[in-house]
Amino acid sequence: MPVNTVIFLQREKVNFNNLKVVKEIAKKLDKKLVLLFVDVPEEEKEKAKKQVEEENISYELKNQLDFGEAKEEIKAEKPDLLVVTQEKISPLEHIFRITSTEKLVKDFENLDIILLQEDADSINSVLINVDKETATEYFISSAYLFVKKLGVKFDFVTSFYESFYENRLKKTHPDEEAKQILVGMLEEYVETVKTKLAKALKGEKIEFLILKGDPKKEIPYYARKKKYDLLLINENIEDKESYIENSEISVGIFKDKEGE
């Protein structure tokens, strides 16, 4: 992912856990860090500035009083990566409330965004979802480049919705025949994902995990259970909101095609 600018957007207060992560990203990718603060108290700004300067990172501090103006600033700046803090709320609370960060995601198109959980202070493991239908070669290669540059543990994953196909097949075929067809479908599914990965990674051999279940539930569940720090999904994936809201871990939404 050819990152030139990383914007760290913060509103009303600075999340210093997340700042650690952002500094690490900017440093590892060797990119300029823009601290875009909206209505943040002076002392927090100073503290953030000091922490960034300690790391010797090229940075710029931009202040906005209004959140709408900050959004315009992001659109004008066209950063390659936007990092925001995602409020940590329980799934039950999530039913009744969409976080401001989740609303913000809808305002931007063709932009790589990472929603960092409030308590995220490092990224050590990343799960990259390869959706059979929508993940593009561009997404796969940029996600791969990102994790390689960060130097973190990562896994590619995909989920085959077996029970759904199985129930449908059983309506029209005897059980044994349905099972055989299903095996064929799974093989074809795996082959397609494998081909996508091979093309995107220019033939580099990469292992990937195959899960079985509704992807929008199974993949976030797997990411939570295995305690990954970040789940990467592609921008045009179906049910994007579900992946974000079901994860309870940090989520990155990377674009599917080269930006303008």
Residues 10 to 69: which contact other proteins by CB under 8 A? none
**For the purposes of burial, counting CB atoms within 10 Å of the CB of 213, is it exposed (0-12), middle (13-18) or buried (19 or more)?**
middle
Of 76 and 92, which has the nearer Cβ to other proteins?
92
Which one of the spans 73-81, 122-130, 240-248, 250-258 is the region binding other proteins (CB under 8 A)?
Answer: 240-248
Measured between alpha carbons, how far is 158 from 161 in angstroms, rounded to an integer? 10
Out of 95, 109, 122, 258, the residue judged to bind other proteins by CB under 8 A: 95
Q: Any contact of residue 241 with other proteins (CB under 8 A)?
A: yes
Number of residues that bind other proteins (CB under 8 A): 19
- Interacting positions 160-179 with other proteins (CB under 8 A): 164, 167-168
Burial of 183 per CB tally in 10 Å (0-12, 13-18, 19+):
exposed
Q: Which stretch binds other proteins (CB under 8 A): 176-184, 185-193, 238-246, 251-259?
A: 238-246
| Least distance CB 55 / other proteins (angstroms) | 36
Residue 100: CB minimum distance to other proteins, A? 16
Residue placing its CB nearer to other proteins in the complex, 108 or 221 = 221
Please list the residues that pair with 117 across neighbouring strands: 86
Distance, in Å, from the CA atom of 113 to the CA atom of 115, rounded to the nearest integer, reads 7
Longest Cα–Cα distance of the chain, Å, equals 70
CA distance 27 to 41: 26
